[in-house]
Amino acid sequence: MTDPVSDFLTRLRNAAQAQHEHVIMPSSKLKRELARILVEQGYITGYEIAPPSAGNPGESITVTLKYTDDRKPVISGLRRVSRPGRRTYVDHQHIPRIQGGMGTAIISTSSGVMTGHEARLQGVGGEVVATVW
């Protein structure tokens, strides 16, 4: 797999569209951080890390999706911004505002993975990993 983050976002998008409760996928540090931010921002209910098992050689992450009362997914859109073929870096003054501030930009900075709002407050820039709205 050449782009695990894109795979993570696509699995979330597909599961939300199919109205699944949980999504299971291979885990990594970056995927855990993305899931943590999605929980903090209220886009998903939670996530769990499962240790390696006989059928699964690496750790896996199980994401619990969140829906509204009328069964619509809370995540209405996910987009991978910085891809392996075209990396996108910004300084703290040019961090994008998603949907007029209603969405979230996820930035990988030298201080760790954080939302665009947190990066702006701390005055750090970095790689724009994805946007969620």
CATH 3.30.1370.30 domain residues, the chain: 4-65
**pTM confidence score:** 0.93
CATH 3.30.1490.10 maps onto the chain at: 78-132
Mean pLDDT of 83-95: 96
CATH number for the domain running over 4-65:
3.30.1370.30
- Assess whether pLDDT exceeds 90 at residue 83: yes
Q: Residues 12-37: pLDDT tens digits?
A: 999 999 999 999 999 999 999 999 99
91, HSE (Cβ side, Cα atoms, 13 Å): 1
**Architecture of the domain whose range is 78-132:** 2-Layer Sandwich (3.30)
The pLDDT assigned to 121 comes to: 97
- Residue 1 scores a pLDDT above 80: no
Between CA 116 and CA 130 the distance in angstroms is: 10
Please compute the mean of the pLDDT values over residues 78-82 and round it to a whole number: 96
Q: Where are the beta strands (DSSP E) in 21-111?
A: 22-26, 44-50, 60-65, 78-80, 89-90, 104-109
The alpha carbon dihedral of 7, 24, 14, 81 has a sign of negative
